[in-house]
Amino acid sequence: MFTVIGALVAVLVAAIAVRVIFRNTLFRAVPDQAVPGIVLLVPGYGGNGNSLQQLANVITAVGRTAVIVTLPDGGTGDLRRQADAVEAAADEALKTAPSVDVIGYSAGGVVARVWVEEHDGKHKARRVITLGSPQHGAKIAAAGAAALPGACPVACQQLAPGSALLDDLSDTVPRPPEWLSIWTESDETVTPPDSARLDGATNVDIQQACPGRVVSHGELPSDDYVTNLVLAAISADPVQTADVGC
């Protein structure tokens, strides 16, 4: 009799535990759009965190906490493993913050998108901003994969148009979070540049917004106009671009 009661109690305790875990993981509240959290910056292909240091410094200067995510495998390995690193950084940030804002530069924007879709980022991220990201692939990656397959690491292969990883992503970005995608027509690294366009996001073609402005791929994280767009996007206000002057 006591054995049966003990077994029932154990089952009940286990069910409650699973219920709590289930609630905490799958039913985390959607972030309050008016309450900014910690900002995570995801480097591009090669994982060069220095490329985002100036932007991180500006974000810190306006009173926000900015963390540059360290990517595994030198930033050239599986983009899903890189998304795991974003997940770890987000979970650490969420110990003290209500949510995270994620800024992905170049391939880092694809990593951010993988993270949102495969790590329940919609319940962790408030805003996602991508800078010159090959969301639909880059010709240079396709050329590298075709011409020198042994010299094109996993991330390079995954960034080729039509790759299995890119095909697995949704045609329209999940919302929440709120999304902003910025790119430059002067981009010679991510071609075509409008590979950065995301259905469901606020999309900004720099030259359409600021005719004649010359911004290269490498200048995206440090350009004044782009920086002002980013600061506006991670503020407590709704994502908008009209009030950001050239």
Distance (Å, rounded) from C-alpha 194 to C-alpha 135? 9
Where do we find the tokens 């540059």?
A: 68
First to last CA, the chain: 78
Q: What pLDDT, on a 0 to 100 scale, did the predictor assign at position 6?
A: 43
The pLDDT tens digits of the residues spanning 76-113 come to 999 999 999 999 999 999 999 999 999 999 999 999 99
Q: Read off the pLDDT of each residue in 229-246 and give the average, rounded to a whole number.
A: 92
The pLDDT tens digits of the residues spanning 204-214 come to 999 999 999 99
The pLDDT tens digits of the residues spanning 163-181 come to 999 999 999 999 999 999 9
CB 161 within 8 A of CB 136: yes
Nearest Cα neighbor of 131 from 206, 39, 200, 57 is 206
Q: What pLDDT, on a 0 to 100 scale, did the predictor assign at position 144?
A: 59
The DSSP symbol for 150 reads G
pLDDT band at 15 (very low <50, low <70, confident <90, very high): very low
Instruction: Provide the Cα torsion 232, 209, 115, 166; round to 10°.
Output: 180
Whether residue 176 is preceded by a cis peptide bond, meaning omega within 30 degrees of 0, is yes
Percent of the residues in the chain that have a pLDDT greater than 90, as a whole number: 77
Write the DSSP assignment of 30-64 as a string of letters.
PPPTTS--EEEEE--TT--GGGGHHHHHHHHHTT-
Residues 6+ apart with CB under 8 A from 245: 228
- Please compute Rg for the chain using Cα positions: 20
Neighbours of 191 (CB within 10 A): 17
Percent of the residues in the chain that have a pLDDT greater than 70, as a whole number: 85
Nearest Cα neighbor of 184 from 120, 246, 100 is 246
Q: What pLDDT, on a 0 to 100 scale, did the predictor assign at position 145?
A: 55
The pLDDT tens digits of the residues spanning 30-84 come to 899 989 999 999 999 999 999 999 999 999 999 999 999 999 999 999 999 999 9
Q: What pLDDT, on a 0 to 100 scale, did the predictor assign at position 240?
A: 85
Domain ranges within the chain, ordered by starting residue:
38-233
* 58 phi, psi to nearest 5 deg: -65, -40
Half-sphere exposure of 225 toward its Cβ, with a 13 Å CA cutoff?
A: 22
Q: Read off the pLDDT of each residue in 114-143 and give the average, rounded to a whole number.
A: 93
At residue 244's C-alpha, the angle toward residues 246 and 220, to 5°, is 65
Whether residue 192 is preceded by a cis peptide bond, meaning omega within 30 degrees of 0, is yes
Q: Read off the pLDDT of each residue in 10-18 and give the average, rounded to a whole number.
A: 37
CATH superfamily of 38-233: Alpha/Beta hydrolase fold, catalytic domain (3.40.50.1820)
Distance (Å, rounded) from C-alpha 156 to C-alpha 45? 8
Burial readout 210-224 (b: 16 or more C-beta within 10 A, e: otherwise): beebebebbebbebe
Distance (Å, rounded) from C-alpha 87 to C-alpha 90? 5
